Amino acid sequence: ATTLPTPKMSPPRRLAVLCSHLRPDGAEPPAENERPAGQQTVISASPCGDDGRGAVAGRVGDREAESCVFCRIIRDEAPAFKLYEDDVCICILDSHPLALGHSLIIPKCHFSSMEVTPPHVIAAMCSKVPFLSNAIMKATDCDAFNLVVNNGEAAGQVIFHTHFHIIPRRSGDKLWPTESFRRSSIEPNETSSLISCIKEQLDSSED
C-alpha cells in the first residue's frame, strides 16, 4: 500500500495518496494539469445551509453562515484539500494539523454545535468514520487514531460549525500530555447524585 514516509510531502501529493486509499481500484486522482477545465482539488460547490429536509432548528443567520470558513469551503469560495464528499458531509485535511493526515469531517449544513445538529446529520457523519479513518491510517502508516469533537469554546472549539477531527496516532508520539496524567477513581457518593441528575435531564428531554 502507498504510504506517506515523511511530513515534507506537498499538500497536493498528500491529497493524492490519501484519495488513492478511498478508491477501490487504488488509482490516484489525475494531476491538476490533466483534470477537465474547471475541476480543481478544492471542495465542489454545495448548498450550504440546506439539508434537503427543510430543517431550520439550530441554524444561524445567513450573515454568520456567509462568514463561516467551512461554509465558504463548501460553497467553493475558499480552498481546501478534499478527501471525500457526499450529499451530507465532506472530509478535508486540517490546514493546521496536529499530526500528518489530521482530517475533518464537516456537515454541509451549518450548525454551530453538536447539540443543535440533527441526529440524522450526526449519524451520517459517524457512518463515514470507519471508511475514512481506515484510509487515512493506511496512507499515513499509522495503526490508531483519535476521533475528537471540540464542542463549545471551553472545549477548544474555534470554528462554530459542527465537525469531527480524525487524528492519526503512533505509539509514543506523545501528542496528548494528558495521556500521562494519573486519573482519580470515581467517588461513589458523588456518582449517585450525578446519575440521578443526568437521568432527570434525559427524561425531560424526551418530553
Report, as an integer, the average pLDDT of 188-199. Answer: 89
Q: 178 in the Ramachandran plot: left (φ > 0), alpha (ψ -120 to 50) or beta? A: alpha
Number of Cβ within a 10 Å radius of residue 19? 19
**Cα-based distances in Å from 123 to 88, 118, 120, 182:** 10, 9, 5, 33
Q: For residue 176, name the pLDDT band (cuts at 50, 70, 90).
A: confident
Per-residue confidence (pLDDT) for residue 74, from 0 to 100: 96
Report, as an integer, the average pLDDT of 153-165. Answer: 96
Q: For 18-32, 102-116, 180-194, which range has the lowest pLDDT when averaged over its residues?
A: 18-32
Would you give the DSSP letter of residue 65? H
Look at the block and give the residue holding cell 453562515: 65
Q: For residue 188, name the pLDDT band (cuts at 50, 70, 90).
A: confident
Q: What is the rounded distance in angstroms from the CA atom of residue 65 to the CA atom of residue 61?
A: 6
Q: What is the rounded distance in angstroms from the CA atom of residue 147 to the CA atom of residue 157?
A: 14
pTM of the model as a whole: 0.71
Scored b (16 or more CB within 10 A) or e, 128-156 reads beeebbebbbbbbebeebeebbbbeeeee
- Taking only the tens place, the pLDDT of each residue in 23-80 is 434 444 444 444 434 333 333 333 454 443 333 334 455 666 778 999 999 999 999 9
Closest CA to 169 of 71, 107, 101: 101
Report, as an integer, the average pLDDT of 138-157. Answer: 96
Instruction: Give me the active site residues, please.
Output: 163
The structural domains of the chain, with segments of one domain joined by +, span 83-173
Task: Check if the beta carbon of residue 108 is closer than 8 Å to that of residue 44.
Answer: no
- The architecture that CATH gives domain 83-173 is 2-Layer Sandwich (3.30)
Backbone angles phi, psi at 170, to 5 degrees: -125, 150
Share the mean pLDDT of the chain: 78
For 63, the 3-state DSSP assignment is helix
Backbone angles phi, psi at 133, to 5 degrees: -65, -35
